[in-house]
Amino acid sequence: MKYGSLILEKKEYVYLKRILNITGYSSNDQTQKSIEKLLDELKTAHIVDEEEMPEDVIRFNSKVTVVSDIGWEKTMQVVIPSDRDVTQNKISVLMPMGAALFGYSNNDTLEWDFPGGKQQLKITSVTQEETLSGIDLVI
C-alpha cells in the first residue's frame, strides 16, 4: 500500500461511517463481508483535511481503472449509494468492489473476497471528478 494505510478526506470519512452505521447488515453475505472488512480497514485509516488529500487516492466520485489477476480490466466510478448506476459504471461504496477500492491509491495492489471468489486487483489509474468536499453531506 503506497501510503501505508487507507487515506480518507475528513468529511468523506464522517459520511462513510454514517452510511455504514445506518446500513446495518446486508442480507447478502458477500456484501456484508465487504462492509465488515471496510469497517475494519477504517480503524487504521489516515484521515486528512481536503487540502492534504493526495490526488491519486480513491474517494467518492473517483474514476478508477483496475486490472484483476484473473485477466479482466475495468474502469468505474466509486459513488455514494444513491448515485449508483451500473449502466454508467458507477458503483456504490457499499458494494464489494466499491468497498474494496475506497481509500486505496494508484499503483496499489489489494486482495479482496468478491462474490466470484478472492481476487487480486492492481489499481492502474485514478482520476478525480467532482469531490464531495464542499457539499453538505446529508443522509
Please give the pLDDT value at position 30: 74
Render pLDDT for 6-24 as a digit per residue (tens, 0 to 9). Answer: 999 999 999 999 888 776 6
- Using pLDDT thresholds of 50, 70 and 90, give the confidence band for residue 134: very low
> Which domains does the chain carry?
7-127 (3.10.50.30)
Render pLDDT for 45-92 as a digit per residue (tens, 0 to 9). Answer: 999 999 999 999 999 999 999 999 999 999 999 999 899 999 999 999
- Secondary structure (3-state) at 80: coil
Beta bridge partner(s), residue 46: 7
